[in-house]
Amino acid sequence: MAQEDSFLYALSSNNAWAGYKAHQNPNFFPKLASGQAPQILWLGCSDSRCPETTILGLQPGDVFVHRCIANIVSATDINTSAAIEFAVAHLRVAHVVLCGHSACGGALATVGRARLGGVLDTWLTPLRAIHAAHEEELAGIKDEGARAVRIAELNVEAGVAVLMANGVVQDAVRERGLEVHGCFFDLASGRIRDLGFGTKRGVRVAGGNGEEVRGRHAQLVFRGGNASMAVR
């Protein structure tokens, strides 16, 4: 499909979607236009294969979103900080979810020691620092895809640590029980798993082999636009 054709198709698809939603529920768009009250702040990767509302099975208005290359959370990035502050302090979301994913281009470039040039190399510096800090463990993983998954998990852990040090997040955790979750989306299965980082301890991933540690497992459960943690 040509570039122009793909854009025209997208506009046509939007028109069909809007018509269907309005027919299905005449109040859907008027309610959407009246304001937002999402329960979830989603911090994810810009990768086109990871559209948060779609993979969560939710609707417009359910999730406040900030996405960037390789879902890197930096304390000095004013864009990320602004999204966090608005969602936590003003929208008063109940959950902050930082989600990495498999086959991440940033993770693959880092484990492959590739130089992408320009601002991308600067942006991926935190991932390279994670690689250096865990070089021995990562070197022991022979499959490059599995190695990229592991560094992506470590990146989520590092990002959650930044979130937990954020003053706005700390206040909300203490004052109203805000929950922070570190998760991972597997492209090959379409499933999201809890890595156990954040305010609650869920599934911890064993070092680099993709296996889960058995015990009390936590899973994000979404019903009617609300999110909760089911522990089993």
Mean per-residue pLDDT for 167-179? 98
Q: For residue 58, is it within any domain?
A: yes
Q: For residue 163, is it within any domain?
A: yes
Is 90 annotated as catalytic? no
Q: For residue 2, is it within any domain?
A: no
Q: For residue 1, is it within any domain?
A: no
- The residue with greater pLDDT, 99 or 227, is 99
Is 49 annotated as catalytic? yes
Q: For residue 14, is it within any domain?
A: no
45 is in an annotated binding site: yes
How does residue 221 score in pLDDT terms, banded at 50, 70 and 90? low
- Annotated active-site residue in 50, 62, 99, 101: 101
- Annotated active-site residue in 47, 50, 68, 131: 47
- pLDDT value, residue 95: 98
How does residue 209 score in pLDDT terms, banded at 50, 70 and 90? very low
Q: Which domain holds residue 98?
A: 37-231
Is 104 annotated as catalytic? yes
Do 162 and 74 contact (CB within 8 A), yes or no?
yes
Q: For residue 197, is it within any domain?
A: yes
For the chain, strand residue ranges (E) read 40-45, 63-68, 95-101, 179-186, 191-198, 218-223, 226-231
Mean per-residue pLDDT for 154-168? 98
Is 47 annotated as catalytic? yes
How does residue 200 score in pLDDT terms, banded at 50, 70 and 90? confident
Q: For residue 5, is it within any domain?
A: no
Is 50 annotated as catalytic? no
104 is in an annotated binding site: yes
Judge whether residue 182 has pLDDT over 60.
Answer: yes
Q: For residue 90, is it within any domain?
A: yes
Judge whether residue 231 has pLDDT over 50.
Answer: no
Judge whether residue 217 has pLDDT over 50.
Answer: no
How does residue 94 score in pLDDT terms, banded at 50, 70 and 90? very high
Q: What is the pLDDT of residues 40-61, one digit of tens each?
A: 999 999 999 999 999 999 999 9
Q: What is the pLDDT of residues 60-84, one digit of tens each?
A: 999 999 999 999 999 999 999 999 9
β-strands 226-231, 179-186 pairing? unpaired
Q: What is the CATH number of the domain that holds 156?
A: 3.40.1050.10
Q: What is the pLDDT of residues 108-146, one digit of tens each?
A: 999 999 999 899 999 999 999 999 999 999 999 999 999
Domain tally, the chain: 1
User: Model-level pTM?
Assistant: 0.85
Q: Which of 214, 185, 183 is nearest to 200 (CA)?
A: 183
Alpha helices in 25-67 (DSSP H): 28-33, 52-56
- Annotated active-site residue in 62, 104, 193, 194: 104
